[in-house]
Amino acid sequence: MTYTPLILLGLGFSGVLFHNLIKLNAINRKNKGIVNFGEYFALERFTILISLFFVGFLVVIKSELTGVETISKWIGTAFGLAGYLAQSLIVSFTSTTEQFIKDKIEAINDKKEK
């Protein structure tokens, strides 16, 4: 199958959507059917945008990626996974960074209190 840039963009965006639906499902189950979509998207909007831009970047450099024969056969799957994984990696990285910053701030505040 020949993958046009539009199809690859759609596959990547589908990966981002898939990741967010999985997260919303987990929130839905945890809160017994109560999900605040506005709050979720307010918190995740930048992560989603970064993931979408990443997928767009991959589409732009697609010609360099398809130079390898093995990858060109699986490029559609790769773009779907890239959208999903980009979202996962960004969430994981920002959560770790946020916790690191909170720990540093708490350590500074503890020193001030002593």
Q: How far apart are CA 23 and CA 28, in angstroms?
A: 9
Q: How far apart are CA 112 and CA 52, in angstroms?
A: 42
For 45-62, how does the pLDDT look when each residue is reduced to its tens digit (9 = 90+)? 888 888 888 888 888 877
Token pair belonging to 111: 């020193």
pLDDT-based confidence at residue 29 (cuts at 50, 70, 90):
confident
Q: How far apart are CA 2 and CA 15, in angstroms?
A: 19
Token pair belonging to 26: 């987990």
Question: pTM of the full predicted structure?
Answer: 0.64
Query: What whole-number percentage of the chain has pLDDT above 70?
Result: 81
